[in-house]
Structure 1
Amino acid sequence: MTSTDTDVEQPLLVSDNDGVRTLTLNRPAARNAVNLDMSKAIDAALTEFDDRRDLTVAVLAANGPTFCAGMDLKAFLRGERPLTPRRGFAGIAQEPPRKPIIAAVDGPAVAGGFEIVLACDMIVAAENAFFALPEVKRGLVAAGGGLLRLPGRLPYHVAMELSLTGKQISARDAERLGLVNKVVAPGTAVATALELAAEIAACGPLAVAATKQILQDSPGWPAEEAFERQAELTTPVRSSADAKEGALAFTEKRAPVWTGS
């Protein structure tokens, strides 16, 4: 995606199509560094995304050659903190959306930019992408969720090395270690992510959201409570109009028409 004269002042571009919301970071001249305006815009877009019955999955992309360079340090030095009360850094790190979100990474995602990516559920990365948490090199700590999420996405010793040295990891190495879903040619990450999003959007939206929540939350559930807690999430889905529509569409050999109810 590219910016235009009409959207250059908007820190985030939002578009919806066939159940998919696309959010595009739009501060290319600043390497998409996150300031407070961008954080507020992301928070608002994700909140609306979760509330909309007609939207099932989101794609997070960026304009320009850098996906995101992290926090806007110039704004930071002016006393600005790019946090929102509900979702924290970048309007996503502390509380990602309830529904699935795919990061489409074309170019570097470093510091807070990597933490934004880690807040997403799937990652499509271009071959020219790389990831890093270089905060320790600046005497800082990656407190935007990177240290909390990375050990669950990479082997412990790899996560420790990257976090303690600030080293970069390439898209190919990230794919080999299971951090990235797909590696694609430069300039095609968004298109590939949208293809993946379309596959998800074709599924029942209530089932998709419940499935994400179970996968995300169940590792922290006590074993003896796991099926009971799962039932709390699956029972409303099983009794929904969409569940009936899914079964009817299957018997009638047609595509289901989801209503999110």
Structure 2
Amino acid sequence: MTKRMDDKVVLVTGGASRPGLGAAIGERLAAEGAIVVLTDIDLPGVEETAALIRAKGGNASAAKHDVALQEDWDSVVTALLADHGRLDVLVNNAGILDVAGMGSDRAVGALRSQFEVNVAGSFIGTQVAVRAMRKSGGGSIVNMSSVAGLVGFRGSASYAASKGAVKMFSKSVALEVAAENIRVNTVHPGIIRTNMQDQGAETNSDNYDAIEAAIPVGRLGEPEDIANCVLFLASDESTYVTGAEFIVDGGYTAQ
């Protein structure tokens, strides 16, 4: 039976953390027939994620990758093209969360580090992917933003700034490459049950308790909720969708 991602070659960054969005996305796309290359700065962790996907019958491999480094992007994509011949989908998922309020001595450092990974990492990856996709007639790029890139969150100014930047550069690139059959969209998760979210809850507990209590559907999201949205954007079901933002937040930003 034909699957939604049969034989599509997919690169997913930030795949080591479990529970995490990258791992869930890799597993979901592989279950639909994709050839998945997972990357992360944590090589043992991402190799374990790939092994778990293979144990379930999926096609997955792993590579070490610092998304903030141009040379790592060039190396990873060159190897992927040598192995598989093309890149159909890039999911720029890798990111960091440093909750440092404006009154913190770390505020400027947090801003710089999050822009290096969350913004520059996604920007470089998008650029490298566009070059690869041009050679094979098109593709889909999914850049992971956040609801913090849409509305304000107390204590998260630098993180919110980085995720807002991801949204806006993605829209601009989408316009630049639309005629080349390359789609660029963003996904904006709400409060999802991941290791990163646990970190944020620990360092910003008062604000996170209030945020969680305000989710209209009455629960935290699961990584699979995000993976399902990414599956749509990665598949041929979304060929008329580009420059758009997809909010998966249990209704939080509808208020």
- Under a length normalisation based on structure 1, what TM-score does the superposition of the two structures give? 0.31
Bigger RCO of structures 1 and 2 (CA < 8 A, at least 6 apart)? 2
Structure with max Cα Rg: 1
More helix by share: 2
- Under a length normalisation based on structure 2, what TM-score does the superposition of the two structures give? 0.31
